[in-house]
Amino acid sequence: MPSSDGTVHIIGAGLAGLAAAVRLTEAGRAVAIHEATGQAGGRCRSYYDHTTGMVIDNGTHLLLSGNHAALNYLKSIGAETMLEGPADAEFQFIDLAGGARWTVRFNNGQIPWWIFDKNRRVPQTRPRDYLPLARLMWASGDQPLSKLMSCSGPLYDRLLEPLFLAALNIVPPEGSGKLAAQILKETLGVGGKACRPLIAPEGIGTAFVDPAVAHLKQRGIDINFHRPLHALGYDGDRVSHLDFGADTITLDASDSVILAVPSYAAAGLLPGLQVPSSFRSIVNVHYRVDPPAGQPRMIGVINGTAEWIFALPGRVAVTVSDAGDLLEMPRNEVAQVIWRDVAAVMGLPEMLPPWQLVRERRATFAATPEENAKRPGARTNWVNLVLAGDWTATGLPATIEGAVRSGNRAADLVGGRNVNKVAA
Ligand SMILES: Cc1cc2nc3c(=O)[nH]c(=O)nc-3n(C[C@H](O)[C@H](O)[C@H](O)COP(=O)(O)OP(=O)(O)OC[C@H]3O[C@@H](n4cnc5c(N)ncnc54)[C@H](O)[C@@H]3O)c2cc1C
């Protein structure tokens, strides 16, 4: 049985692994981190791009002020000031079909009186249009959103589709009603104070990754890079060996393992483990251009190819979720088509500035009811092995918040407090 004085080996230095490491070191535990690549952060990373001469993110990551686990993680690593957002929960939109612009402004308290104010709610909607949201929050079981609410009309087109598409990373009618409901409960259900959009204008690496790596280094923990785990060895109901190919670590009776790798990698290491196996992509394009003065930090685009446009220092970044249509299109065509939207929104010339395109094919698991039902809990059949990652059963879609919560949960399970239950 693992005890509180052994080493916790964390496999994978994405946000789930980093969050687990930070929590365990706070509890005074010995930690070793093994990462397959040469960089921490996993699907949330920044890097220098030679084509544009800029540091770019693999994707601009949006948080909401109600993402309490992610925000506490940032506090723990001293990086809470790296996120920025408006003082109030406001979302700006533009409809490229007619050029209409509007801003949805949620009020801070739990009673949604913004719905009753035509200057705050979605144009062309009435208060009663919002009732299905309450019904969705309390629906039982899990069904596709198309079965639980109307996926058409001004409220859907002008607010719900862009928000659910961004949060679930799947065309909303196919998305899990249960996951959508959980998002609503943790955001609008709490009030506008939980809905302020937050981004890292200097890059996600400077917020979520570099400070964590520095924090761990200060506590004597260097991440072991270029060290993919090849296989786990077992002895009865325990993991006894970690096989890294070139070398093998033999675990003591007091050691434990947190497997914080993506679902497909976990399935390869733990045959028989049921995991989500279908994925959705996210496409980001980064343009080296100074956004004109007065541009909103982020704007949602309706009836365009671009979905969210971010005005950042010296660059403009665009996100397209569940972007299957853009995966096979020639790269320069994608950059050109999306730039046309940016130019229209920002009043910039049509000539393409230097750009870089990032297509993350397996950005998240497909947030359908079927795939959501495949997510395993943290505990495994081995007493000293627990799982972490945004794809484990967090109750949330694949997000930073879910990844951090899963890392925290895994840390708590091996950290001593709940260790006897790990065998469940
Ligand atoms: C383009 C894009 C945009 C996104 N936008 C948002 C957003 O706006 N808001 C939001 O909240 N979320 C967003 N997400 C989702 C968010 O990035 C993820 O939910 C989160 O980063 C997942 O973290 P993780 O630690 O669970 O997994 P990962 O980041 O996948 O980390 C797993 C780590 O394990 C390593 N690994 C794999 N195999 C092995 C092995 N055998 N041995 C050792 N190491 C191994 C990997 O290299 C990786 O570092 C986005 C994702 C993408 C791709």
Distance 292 CA to ligand 1 centre (A): 32
Distance 127 CA to ligand 1 centre (A): 38
Distance 399 CA to ligand 1 centre (A): 9
* Ligand 1 atom nearest to CA at 13: 49
Distance 363 CA to ligand 1 centre (A): 8
pLDDT in tens, the chain (424 residues): 345 689 999 999 999 999 999 999 999 999 999 999 999 999 999 999 999 999 999 999 999 999 999 999 999 999 999 999 999 999 999 999 999 999 999 999 999 999 999 999 999 999 999 999 999 999 999 999 999 999 999 999 999 999 999 999 999 999 999 999 999 999 999 999 999 999 999 999 999 999 999 999 999 999 999 999 999 999 999 999 999 998 999 999 999 999 999 999 999 999 899 999 999 999 999 999 999 999 999 999 999 999 999 999 999 999 999 999 999 999 999 999 999 999 999 999 999 999 999 999 999 999 999 999 999 999 999 999 999 999 999 999 999 999 999 999 999 999 844 444 333 2
Instruction: Please count the other Cβ atoms lying within 10 Å of the Cβ belonging to residue 12.
Output: 28
Q: Which residue has a Cα nearest atom 27 of ligand 1?
A: 14
Could you tell me if 14 and 20 are in contact, meaning their C-beta atoms sit under 8 angstroms apart?
A: no
Distance 42 CA to ligand 1 centre (A): 4
Distance 33 CA to ligand 1 centre (A): 16
With a Cβ cut-off of 6 Å, ligand 1 is lined by 11-17, 34-37, 42-44, 58-59, 61-63, 228-229, 260-262, 265, 282, 284, 360, 363-364, 389-390, 398-401, 403
Give the 3-state secondary structure of residue 342: helix
How many Å apart are CA 63 and CA 49, to the nearest integer?
A: 24
Widest CA span in the chain:
66
DSSP state of 44: S
Distance 58 CA to ligand 1 centre (A): 10
Determine whether 328 is exposed, middle or buried from the number of CB atoms within 10 Å of its CB (0-12, 13-18, 19+). exposed
Distance 401 CA to ligand 1 centre (A): 12
Mutate to test the pocket of ligand 1, among 57, 356, 396, 399 (most ligand atoms within 8 A of CB): 399
Task: Supply 39's token pair.
Answer: 């960089």
Could you tell me if 40 and 342 are in contact, meaning their C-beta atoms sit under 8 angstroms apart?
A: no
How many Å apart are CA 87 and CA 323, to the nearest integer?
A: 31
Q: Which residue has a Cα nearest atom 42 of ligand 1?
A: 228
Q: How far is CA 227 from CA 40, 203, 241, 246, in A?
A: 12, 26, 15, 9
* Ligand 1 atom nearest to CA at 57: 1
How many Å apart are CA 77 and CA 216, to the nearest integer?
A: 9
* Ligand 1 atom nearest to CA at 390: 26
Distance 339 CA to ligand 1 centre (A): 27
* Ligand 1 atom nearest to CA at 362: 53
Q: Which residue has a Cα nearest atom 26 of ligand 1?
A: 389
* Ligand 1 atom nearest to CA at 166: 8
Instruction: Please count the other Cβ atoms lying within 10 Å of the Cβ belonging to residue 117.
Output: 12
